Structure 1
Amino acid sequence: MNDDTRVDRCEFCHLELVSEQQLIFENEDAMFLQLKDVDNKGKLLAGAGVIVPKQHRDTVFDLTETEWSAMYELLQRVKVFIDERFWPDGYNVGWNNGAVAGQHIHHVHLHILPRYKDETLAGKGIRYMFKEGRNQRGVN
């Protein structure tokens, strides 16, 4: 798929492609998006969302310094917003870069994942899948 086709089908470049997606905050260079069902406070990913640059960038390594700053500014606003509405006990915040790392939408997006102490995997962070033993290299 060429770059123009990928951008034409990008759900972060064209928010209307995902009807459940809603724009919560934005600044000149970035947006905070959530799916409409994250308001369900008993749901596992209650309050979760993504921060994306407005310009199509494939990975975090492609961001400009201005976009980094814009995303940082939104991250601070998002934390206050989620804290006031969902009262999480912690957060995972992170990027997936490339298909092998789990990036399924090829427009960089910073995951904001509120965590709750009543989750089955409470206390397990981003590195859990690497440390728990099932992820092995060279095994088919």
Structure 2
Amino acid sequence: MDCIFCKILNGDIPSKKVFENDNFIAILDAFPANEGHTLVIPKKHFTNIFEIDEETLKEGYSIARNVANSIRKSLNIENINILQNNGALAGQTVNHFHIHIIPRLENDTVTMKSIPVTIDSKKMEQIALSIKDNM
């Protein structure tokens, strides 16, 4: 398999592991946005959130919360982003589901801002109904 996370899980590539159980590892990101940037990665390969099963997803986010608390205490910070990308246009660079935990510091270089688009009320209603119908 050509997945870098699977290679890390197999021990082919070294990592700085901060957590491990039967289903997940958490490692420091090799290309961090800030000190303490950590990735929570399931040991089973799932490409994205659309493939991962509900129980594994729940466990992953529970681990992410625990890791975030550990980062907060270890680095004495209060601000953290927890995010997960799906697809190249959404910023996913490794096609193996993973959760980013990014400590935030005043004046850091991390950006996640967007310019709001204008959508008229009728279109908003159509979008809302379509999402609701597809739940």
TM-score bucket (shorter structure): 0.7 to 0.9
The alignment partner of 2:5 has SS state of: coil
Q: 1:108 aligns with which of 87, 93, 97?
A: 97
Q: CA deviation at 1:89?
A: 3.3
How high is the sequence identity, in percent, across the aligned residues? 26
Contact 1:93 1:113 in 2 (8 A): yes
Count of residues in Structure 1 that have an aligned counterpart in Structure 2: 115
Deviation at 1:47, TM superposition (A): 0.6
Within 5 Å, which residues of 2 pair with 1:62-101? 62-101=51-90
Work out the CA distance in 2 between the residues paired with 1:70 and 1:32. Answer: 12
Query: 1:99 deviation in Å?
Result: 1.2
Does the 8 Å contact 2:40/2:98 carry over to 1?
Answer: yes
Query: Is the Cα contact below 8 Å between 1:91 and 1:114 reproduced in 2?
Result: yes
Q: Which runs of 4+ in 1 moved over 6 A?
A: none
Q: Which residue of 1 aligns with 2:2?
A: 9
Gaps of 5+ in 2: 118-135
Tell me the TM-score normalized by structure 2. 0.72
Is the counterpart of residue 31 in structure 1 residue 3 in structure 2?
no
Secondary structure of residue in 2 paired with 1:14: helix
Whole-angstrom distance in 2 between the partners of 1:99 and 1:107? 12
Q: How far apart are residue 100 of structure 1 and its match? A: 1.5
Q: 1:76 to 1:58 in 2, by over 3 A?
A: same
* Distance apart, 1:131 and its partner CA: 1.6
1:7-55 C-alpha deviation (Å, 9 max, x unpaired): x121211213443x222112222221114787xxxxx611101111110
DSSP-derived class of the 1:80 partner = helix
1:42-81 to 2 correspondence within 5 Å?
Answer: 45-81=34-70
Q: What SS does the aligned partner of 2:63 have?
A: helix
Q: Is the radius of gyration larger for structure 1 or structure 2?
A: 2
RMSD between superposed Cα atoms in Å: 2.4
Q: Deviations over 1:60-110 (max 9, x none)?
A: 121111211221221122022101211223111111111111111100111
TM-score, normalised on structure 1?
0.70
